[in-house]
Structure 1
Amino acid sequence: MTAFLATGGRVLTPASRDATALAHENGLVVWAGSDAPGPALFPDAERVDLAGDWVAPAFVECLPDGLDLGAAAARGVVPAALPPATHPGAAGEPDGAHDPSALEATVRAGERVVVGPRTDPARFAADLTRLADELGGPAVARCTPVLVGGVTGGAGAPDDGTLAALAAVGTVILLRPLVDDLTGTDLVRLAASGVALAASTRVGDEVRPWDALRALTSVEGGRGLSPRAAFTATTRGARRAAGARDGAVGTLTPGAPATFARWETGELAVVAADDAVQRWSTDPRSGVPPMPDLTGPDPVLRALVVDGLPAGPAA
């Protein structure tokens, strides 16, 4: 396949905080950096002028059943479906409680573990811990346990011990910010616990990725995620929930799939902590990758690329 070199933009990549260019070939990201060396590194590449647009990993929806995938692509969202839940009778989006016997059979078979929001996190953690003691922690972690919802605030919120136990066996908590009431949910504590976070962008039969980010970052009491953490949950985190294990999928790291969206945005901003209150800033000294300002209008999707091929509203 032809190599592509896109320059003149703003690229969200672990390779460089200030990247303005991205190259991909054969469906994989091969380089990210500043504009100047790009043409010399890839002299035969097809050139794309980003015209100042922001390039970032595409949003990922891991609860895609019933969605119009074309409409999702038009919002910069690609599907990566979860496997069926482990409890009996699950179909489509998992919504039930876990069944201990089904859970044990699934783990012993080395298959994916997905349970719904009626699951008691403490009981789920206890069952996973028991299986880890019997089979070894890696055997459980390879199943990538996913708890969909079920971690909202209040008396039923998981305590620190439960979160530590879930983190120890590689559990992913899949948040549904446009479905579940996050009032009173301490997402900062969840993120600090070591449990991997993923997030769905859907509500009903549509996806609203930017509204999902706003919901994740605006939890009352300053207990929401930073924009960067929320974006990670809807990209790399969602990929992990759907079974990716290498840590690169869902990022624009060289060697990762070239699946990304190009957005027309206003000025990018960073969020820095100030007395435990998140404040918007454009100070590059923070070291935090800049993101679109979620207090403004939604960025406009200019192009979607999936595995190196055009898939969205523009080439």
Structure 2
Amino acid sequence: MSSTLFLNGIVHSASDPYATAALVSDGVVAWLGDDSSADRVADPDVPRVDLAGAVLAPAFVEPGGPSVDPAQALRHGVAIVTVLAEPGQTAQALQAAADPALQTVVYRAADTVDAEAAGVWLPAEGEALAALVVASTRAGEQVHLVPPAGGDPSEGQAAALAALRSAAEELGAPALGRVRHRVVLTAPITAEDRALLAAISASVTVGPEADGLLRAPLGTLLAEGVPVCLSTAGEAGPWAAVRAALSHPDEAERISARSAFTAATRTPLRVLPDAPGATVQAAPRLTVSAPATFAVWEADAVAVQSPDGRVAAWSTDTRAGTPLLPALDAETALPRWRATWVDGRPAAVEVADA
């Protein structure tokens, strides 16, 4: 049995918000607790990793569906990615070509039949879009609606919502709710469209634009029961996306760091379809017996942050019982990646300069 003991850190775990140490054995989290108790649960010959105050937190899950560089994803603390297959590409081939440490969920192209895919992705354009959504719904296959390449994202968003509405009118909201379609949003939407998404149990994917700002209505969507996945793709790294959610241009749409982190880690797992091709070996939270898939981050400070990202909404004292996250205010440097572990093994580790 392979084991590793992590000490002297900040373990982000809702089941044990006071944890400073973690024992990983046989690919799962075997124990969480404090440093003073670690030697009682780990044999003396178990390798130790001194976190030196770093944050050990669940790995990010990329829901956006772009072409992914596996090495870059792992260095961004990402362990699971959604990939949209090109015509002719199969899920099996894409998964075989990917880094084995990076778990890949593949959505097939609409003109391909692929039993190993999680679902089908459709560019949100064209007169046939609604009919394709209806056909997929009848087949029990989840649709991932994304903006068309090179097109106007706002027009793609409008086309996607119109197609979902048309399908709901033809088949009924419960039929769509059973497959839980996905749609990428880049801009505000009407109250009527938000109600539609909630009624059909659809989830949305949002992400910062080229200027680093988020414009989709995060707070309103979450308040109305629509699952929100936060895309962390981009050179700026995942924590920049989380910080963007705290500093949304519309103050009413800002959410807490905890909610944004959930949207970037837990929600993208929950919205995956109930299909063999969407099965992943990961857990949305770090708990005992969960797969040991996480990332290690060096942070200048930690806090429990309010939606404006500048002040603590609750006490940062561990007695508050709220897991801490890296501070993401504008004056604090973003967390620096140190390692990504997948299924109890180091998938990528920072190499110190010689």
What's the counterpart of residue 81 of structure 2? Answer: 80
Which one of 229, 237, 243 corresponds to residue 214 of structure 1?
Answer: 243
TM-score (norm 2): 0.72
Residue 12 of structure 1: how far off its partner (Å): 0.7
Deviation by residue 1:108-165 (Cα, 9 ceiling, x = unmatched):
222221112414365345345447748xx3x644533111124x13xxx131x43233
Residue 11 of structure 1: how far off its partner (Å): 0.7
CA contact (8 A) 1:62 1:241 kept: no
**Counterpart Cα distance in 2 of 1:179 and 1:95:** 20
Residue 262 of structure 1: how far off its partner (Å): 0.7
Distance 1:32 1:96, change over 3 A: same
Distance 1:283 1:298, change over 3 A: closer
CA contact (8 A) 1:271 1:288 kept: no
What's the counterpart of residue 123 of structure 1? Answer: 162
Gaps of 5+ in 1: none
Residue 197 of structure 1: how far off its partner (Å): 0.8
CA contact (8 A) 1:58 1:76 kept: yes
Residue 310 of structure 1: how far off its partner (Å): 0.6
1:235 aligns with 2:271: no
What code does the residue aligned with 2:301 have?
Answer: E
CA contact (8 A) 1:64 1:81 kept: yes
**Counterpart Cα distance in 2 of 1:258 and 1:20:** 16
CA contact (8 A) 1:125 1:162 kept: no
What code does the residue aligned with 2:264 have?
Answer: T
**Counterpart Cα distance in 2 of 1:23 and 1:142:** 39
How many positions carry a matched residue from both structures? 300
Distance 1:109 1:46, change over 3 A: farther
**Counterpart Cα distance in 1 of 2:42 and 2:176:** 43
Which one of 96, 102, 113 corresponds to residue 132 of structure 2?
Answer: 102
What's the counterpart of residue 6 of structure 1? Answer: 6
What's the counterpart of residue 177 of structure 1? Answer: 208
What's the counterpart of residue 263 of structure 1? Answer: 297
Deviation by residue 1:259-279 (Cα, 9 ceiling, x = unmatched):
111111122012247xxx664
What code does the residue aligned with 2:190 have?
Answer: P
Residue 99 of structure 1: how far off its partner (Å): 1.5
Distance 1:95 1:104, change over 3 A: closer
**Counterpart Cα distance in 2 of 1:148 and 1:184:** 12
Please give the residue correspondences for 1:96-175 in structure 2 after superposition, counting only pairs within 5 Å: 96-97=124-125, 99-117=129-147, 118-120=156-158, 122-127=161-166, 129-130=168-169, 133=172, 137=174, 140-150=176-186, 152-153=187-188, 157-159=189-191, 161-175=192-206
**Counterpart Cα distance in 2 of 1:224 and 1:72:** 26
Distance 1:127 1:79, change over 3 A: same
**Counterpart Cα distance in 1 of 2:109 and 2:193:** 20
**Counterpart Cα distance in 1 of 2:214 and 2:5:** 44
**Counterpart Cα distance in 2 of 1:211 and 1:189:** 21
What code does the residue aligned with 2:247 have?
Answer: S
CA contact (8 A) 2:247 2:309 kept: no
Residue 181 of structure 1: how far off its partner (Å): 8.1
Deviation by residue 1:47-69 (Cα, 9 ceiling, x = unmatched):
32222111001122233543321
CA contact (8 A) 2:257 2:309 kept: no
TM-score (norm 1): 0.80
Percent of aligned pairs sharing the same letter: 32
Residue 74 of structure 1: how far off its partner (Å): 1.8
SS of residue paired to 2:229: strand
What code does the residue aligned with 1:269 have?
Answer: A
CA contact (8 A) 2:122 2:145 kept: yes
What code does the residue aligned with 2:137 have?
Answer: V
Residue 189 of structure 1: how far off its partner (Å): 0.9
What code does the residue aligned with 2:79 have?
Answer: V
Residue 102 of structure 1: how far off its partner (Å): 1.4
What's the counterpart of residue 254 of structure 2? Answer: 224
Gaps of 5+ in 2: 84-105, 113-119, 148-155
Q: CA RMSD in A?
A: 3.4
Residue 242 of structure 1: how far off its partner (Å): 4.5
What code does the residue aligned with 1:123 have?
Answer: A
Distance 1:272 1:210, change over 3 A: closer
**Counterpart Cα distance in 1 of 2:255 and 2:316:** 20
Please give the residue correspondences for 1:34-53 in structure 2 after superposition, counting only pairs within 5 Å: 34-43=34-43, 45-53=46-54
After the TM superposition, which of the residue ranges 288-297 and 124-133 deviates more from structure 2? 124-133
**Counterpart Cα distance in 2 of 1:127 and 1:61:** 29
1:301 aligns with 2:337: yes
What's the counterpart of residue 31 of structure 1? Answer: 31
**Counterpart Cα distance in 2 of 1:69 and 1:35:** 34
